[in-house]
Amino acid sequence: MNKAAFDARYGEYRQAVEEYLGGLFLDRPHWADLYDAMRYSLLAGGKRIRPVLTVEAARLSGMDWRQALPVACALELVHTYSLIHDDLPCMDDDDLRRGKPTNHKIYGETLAVLAGDALQPEAFRLILTAPGLSAARRADCALILAEAAGADGMVAGQVLDTLHAPHTHQELLEVHRLKTGAMLRGAALLGCTAAGAEKDLRSAVGTYAQELGVAFQIRDDMLDVIGDEAAVGKPIGSDRADGKTTYVDVLGLEGCESAVRMCTVAAKAALARVPEHEFLDFLADSLAERKS
C-alpha cells in the first residue's frame, strides 16, 4: 500500500462515517434544541480516527466494513459526549473546539450537559439495534463500549487527569492508557467483535490501538507547545496556563519525539503476523507526525 491508497481508503471510511452520523437526530420534536446541540458537536468534524479504526478492524476480520458502521459510530457518539463535558467550565473550561465555539458557549451549560448525557445511551441504542449482527455480538459490542468508556476506562482517566494532578511519567502513562488508549482499543475491539474475529487477531489489534493511544496523547501534549493554533483549533499553551503537567514537562520535546516513535514501533510490531496490516501501519505513522 502506498500513501495515495491509504488516503483513498481513509477518505472512503471517513465519508461513510460522516454520512451515517449526518443521518442521526434529524427529527423535530418540541425538544429539538437537544438534537441541535447533539448534532452541533457530533458533526463538528475531526479525523474520525476511532470509527475508522473500527471499520478497518472489521475489514481485517473478514466483514463487509459497512456493516460495522453502527458500532463504529456508537463509539464516536461516546467520544463526542466526552468532549462536550471536557470543555465545560467545571472541567477544562475551553471556549474553542476544532476552531469553533464549544457546545456550552452556543447552547449554555445546561443543554450542553444534557446533550452529552443523551449521546451516551443513544450510542448503546445504535449497537443494540445494529442490523446484520446477532444478538450475542450486539451484547458483546455493548460490553466493550461500556468497559472502554466507564469507571475503569475513559472516565477513570479523566478523574485522574482532573482531580489527582498526575506529575510523574508513570502517572501520566496511567492517565492516558485509560483516557485515550482505552477508547482506541475499544474502537479496534468493536470492529473485531462485530465481525466475530479470532482471539489472536483481537489481541493484536487491541495492543496496536493501545500503543497508538499513548503515542497520540504524547503528540497532543507536544502540539500544545509547538502546534499552530489555526491548525490545532484551540489556544496553544492551554495546559501550561492551567498548571497541568504534561509529557513535555516530564520528557522534554526530544524525549517526547522518542517516546512517540517507540510507541509507534510497538503498535506496528503488534500487527506483524496480521495479514494486510499496511493501512494500520500508515495510520500509526500519520498520527505520529500529525500537525493538528
List the domain boundaries for the chain: 3-288
Task: Find out whether 239 and 224 touch, Cβ atoms under 8 Å.
Answer: yes
CB burial class (10 A; 0-12, 13-18, 19+) of residue 169? Answer: middle
Q: What is the pTM of this model?
A: 0.95
Q: Which helix (H) or strand (E) holds 28?
A: none
- Answer whether CATH 1.10.10.10 is correct for domain 3-288: no
pLDDT tens, residue order, the chain (292 aa): 899 999 999 999 999 999 999 999 999 999 999 999 999 999 999 999 999 999 999 999 999 999 999 999 999 999 999 999 999 999 999 999 988 999 999 999 999 999 999 999 999 999 999 999 999 999 999 999 999 999 999 999 999 999 999 999 999 999 999 999 999 999 999 999 999 999 999 999 999 999 999 999 999 999 999 988 877 777 787 777 778 899 999 999 999 999 999 999 999 999 999 999 999 999 999 999 998 8
Contact 191, 243 (CB under 8 A): no
